[in-house]
Every structure is written in structure tokens, then in C-alpha cells.
Amino acid sequence: MAYKIGEAARKVGCKVETVRFYEQAGLLPEPARSEGNFRLYSDTHLEQLRFIRHCRSLDIPLDDIRTLLQLKERPAENCTDINQVIDEQIVRVDAQLESLKQLRASLLTLRSQCVSGEAENTCDILRELMGCSCHDLQADKQIR
């Protein structure tokens, strides 16, 4: 069966722009065209779109999705390369979790600076946020 782009997008639960983006990124093969020059997506396209969307829901980067799609086309090979892609994603997620823990700790520290309902002009949280030098131009140059 053939689907126009809007219908294909609806069937997989995304926007038309998303389908175009994946096509332009080389993750989705170019579809056939109708006599009126409409893109015509097949069930195979929809299956691949679902695969891509599931990977994106796991925050897998586009380059890794591209690799997984290539590996998917070689089903006789073992899973070592697929496992490596997923293991790398797990490492990235662990790093994000650690970063979020640090962010949470910073916010808790900031929040602990104001325990009273004082006026805004004496709020220690606002004073701390305004007095922070960690985002000065000089500090940014040193960090890089």
C-alpha cells in the first residue's frame, strides 16, 4: 500500500516535517513519486519510521540510528556491533544522570539559601543568581 506523507506521518504518530527530516538525514529511503509528484510511502517506510521514532524515544543519536539501520539490513551477522551502539547509549545516559544529579544538588543548595518569606530585594536566591561569576565572558574563555 502507498501513503502520502501526511497519512504516513499520522500512522506513525509524528509530523510531516519529521518524516521529511528523516528522509533528508538519509535515515529513510527516498519514496516513490506519484504522477502528481506526491511522495508515496510504503509499509516498509512506515516500519522504518517506527523504528527510527522508537530509537529517538530512547534518545539514540541520529548517527547511531543510521548504524543500527545498516546493521538491521545484515541479519545474519552477530549482535556485537548492535550491543556496542546500545552500550555507548547507556554510557551517555549514565553521564546525563550524573549531570542531572549535580544540577539537582546545585538547585537544592540554592534553594536552601532562602528559608524565609522575605521581600524579593533581600532574597538570597536572587542575590546568588545575580552575583554568580561562572558565566562571565572571561570565565567562559577559561572553561573552554
- d(Cα 125, Cα 100) in Å, to the nearest integer? 20
In the chain, what are the domain boundaries?
5-72, 86-143
Given a cut of 80, whether residue 121 has pLDDT beyond it is no
Give tens-digit pLDDT for 1-25. 899 999 999 999 999 999 999 999 9
The top-level CATH class assigned to 5-72 is mainly alpha
Give the model's pLDDT for residue 130. 80
pTM of the model: 0.77
